[in-house]
Chains A and B, each alone.
Chain A
């Protein structure tokens, strides 16, 4: 690299200094320093964790992130509203459809449009299907992190059935880009409802399988019970959300308590909590939630109203001036978009509140005084996705 201008020179010096600082911190302290990542299977992508050890015990742990930063908030400022959904699909890549919904709801709020009931129903169904697709992989992956290899094969096998259903509606296996301001792109294809019932039966038997294979396993319990305990008040003060919060005994679910635009009030369902707050509880809550999601979808499938799937919206979407914040209960926790519009084709500013970023902020606290093998199981049980942290 050739350095020509003064600015480049300063930037170069600053980067060298930052490197040196990290290395000095690593080297000068007493005890051993363990570097996990940036490429480590247990970190779900490219998270780096520097842990200072005293023997087998972690004295301090520091997450270093930004390896997956793609500049979403800046990019949304140069995309039109329909184009933004293409982009934000890729924030939490396991439950893609769930990412679109809060943004679209925020835009609809600003435009004062409401999607027709049929669209709301299908949205909720797809939202829950993406939750299943997301959490399914967690159930397999968590077992891998504590040393059991088989469950992840089952997870990948059964996840395909859910992905097939999403693909049949949206045409996208992974990134549907299906939600539109004012409704949905297409209606359900013929025979889809019956096939989805079959896929849900499959998922239910998968949950039973996981319960027998993993949850009842003595080794799994020994590795997760009383490990990584988060009390409810600590969880709240760190801004945890989703299953991590409910596993600490806090009864809070946006789907029930602050629902916007989705039809959860039309179904009979239950919010699962667990009083323990340890890794085991987080696994247990997610397993029950997968079952509950199957239950929700089954009820919704039987009661989809007829009618149009698109409200009347102009062909070229210009969102009037204003601000809106909409949050939904995504598979990983609370995900919200704060959209500021100046009446243009593109948003003026979008602040993304993603669940994993807050969920991960607890790692320095929770990784204190744990043993080295528990780092992996705790990180896995917190369940974050790197795209969701760095954005």
Chain B
């Protein structure tokens, strides 16, 4: 599209594309520890029901997912797998870090085997604090992510350096 390469994008088109992306997101759930159960409650329980936000849980593979929820303690043994899964996701992709452990190490801040913060491995868009956060808090995080997607400038995103596959 010539419009994009020139760095100009009609505002209405940006809005339309962002709106469509915002309300049709597949979420890949990376359930690791306690937070996985709260995430399960948010995604699979009728009381919280994430689908009313336009988010569909349980894709068959990370290659179909739009954003990733890292919920729980990331250990040093697990970290390479997290990175690898994130790399398999197609762009544009987003990450929500759920719970204190994924944010900064949480109660295991002085442990020898825990990665203090998943943001050392993958870029994180939204942090949800709590130990574990309530399902409502995760839903709030998803809403924040949707707002962020809505305000995104598509041209800026596409103008960046070309992707090189090594």
Where the two chains meet, the residues of A that have a C-beta atom closer than 8 Å to any C-beta of B are: 38-39, 45-46, 66-71, 74-75, 78, 86-87, 90, 93-94, 137, 152-153, 156-157, 159-160, 173-175, 386-387
Distance from B154 Cβ to chain A, minimum over Cβ atoms (Å): 31
Distance from B122 Cβ to chain A, minimum over Cβ atoms (Å): 14
User: Looking at A38, A68, A152, A157, which has the most chain B CB atoms within 10 Å of its CB?
Assistant: A68
Task: Provide the B28-57 mask, 1 if CB < 8 A to any CB of A, else 0.
Answer: 001111101110110011110000000000
Query: B73 touches which one: A38, A39, A68, A156 (CB < 8 A)?
Result: A68
Q: How many residues of B are in contact with the other chain, CB < 8 A?
A: 30
Report chain A residues within 8 Å CB of B114.
70-71
Interface status of B97 (Cβ within 8 A of chain A): no
Per the bound structure, the CA–CA distance linking A387 and B71 in Å amounts to 14
- Measured CB to CB, the nearest residue on chain B to A137 is B37
Distance from A12 Cβ to chain B, minimum over Cβ atoms (Å): 14
Per the bound structure, the CA–CA distance linking A383 and B40 in Å amounts to 17
The reply to whether B33 and A387 form a contact with Cβ atoms under 8 Å apart is yes
Where the two chains meet, the residues of B that have a C-beta atom closer than 8 Å to any C-beta of A are: 30-34, 36-38, 40-41, 44-47, 73, 75, 77-78, 81, 85, 107-108, 110-114, 131-132, 134
Distance from B119 Cβ to chain A, minimum over Cβ atoms (Å): 18
The reply to whether B34 and A156 form a contact with Cβ atoms under 8 Å apart is no
The reply to whether A45 and B33 form a contact with Cβ atoms under 8 Å apart is yes
Per the bound structure, the CA–CA distance linking A152 and B45 in Å amounts to 8
23 A-B residue pairs with Cβ-Cβ distance under 8 Å, sorted by A, are: A38-B81, A39-B81, A46-B32, A66-B75, A68-B75, A70-B73, A70-B75, A70-B114, A71-B113, A74-B111, A75-B110, A86-B107, A87-B107, A90-B33, A90-B34, A137-B37, A157-B46, A157-B47, A173-B134, A174-B37, A174-B132, A175-B34, A387-B33
Report chain A residues within 8 Å CB of B34.
90, 93, 174-175, 387
Nearest 6 Cβ contacts at the A-B interface = A156-B45, A93-B34, A71-B111, A67-B78, A71-B113, A70-B108
Distance from A277 Cβ to chain B, minimum over Cβ atoms (Å): 29
Report chain A residues within 8 Å CB of B38.
174
The reply to whether A75 and B44 form a contact with Cβ atoms under 8 Å apart is no
Report chain B residues within 8 Å CB of A175.
34, 131-132
Report chain B residues within 8 Å CB of A74.
111-112
Query: A70 touches which one: B47, B85, B111 (CB < 8 A)?
Result: B111
Report chain A residues within 8 Å CB of B113.
69-71
Report chain A residues within 8 Å CB of B46.
153, 156-157
- Measured CB to CB, the nearest residue on chain B to A93 is B34
The reply to whether B112 and A71 form a contact with Cβ atoms under 8 Å apart is yes
Report chain B residues within 8 Å CB of A90.
33-34, 107
Distance from B38 Cβ to chain A, minimum over Cβ atoms (Å): 7
User: Looking at A46, A67, A74, A175, which has the most chain B CB atoms within 10 Å of its CB?
Assistant: A46
Report chain B residues within 8 Å CB of A174.
34, 37-38, 132
The reply to whether A75 and B111 form a contact with Cβ atoms under 8 Å apart is yes
User: Looking at A45, A75, A174, which has the most chain B CB atoms within 10 Å of its CB?
Assistant: A174
Report chain B residues within 8 Å CB of A67.
75, 77-78, 81
Distance from B52 Cβ to chain A, minimum over Cβ atoms (Å): 15
Report chain B residues within 8 Å CB of A45.
31-33, 36
Report chain A residues within 8 Å CB of B110.
75, 78
- Measured CB to CB, the nearest residue on chain A to B40 is A156
Report chain A residues within 8 Å CB of B108.
70-71, 75
Query: A160 touches which one: B31, B47, B107, B131 (CB < 8 A)?
Result: B47
Per the bound structure, the CA–CA distance linking A84 and B12 in Å amounts to 56
Given A39-B81, A67-B77, 10 more A-B residue pairs with CB atoms under 8 Å apart are A45-B32, A45-B33, A66-B75, A70-B111, A74-B111, A93-B33, A94-B37, A159-B41, A160-B41, A387-B34
The reply to whether B77 and A39 form a contact with Cβ atoms under 8 Å apart is no
- Measured CB to CB, the nearest residue on chain A to B73 is A70
Distance from B59 Cβ to chain A, minimum over Cβ atoms (Å): 12
The reply to whether B45 and A160 form a contact with Cβ atoms under 8 Å apart is yes
Report chain A residues within 8 Å CB of B73.
68, 70
Per the bound structure, the CA–CA distance linking A175 and B131 in Å amounts to 8
Per the bound structure, the CA–CA distance linking A8 and B33 in Å amounts to 30
The reply to whether B30 and A39 form a contact with Cβ atoms under 8 Å apart is yes
User: Looking at A71, A137, A152, A175, which has the most chain B CB atoms within 10 Å of its CB?
Assistant: A71
The reply to whether B75 and A69 form a contact with Cβ atoms under 8 Å apart is yes
Distance from B75 Cβ to chain A, minimum over Cβ atoms (Å): 6
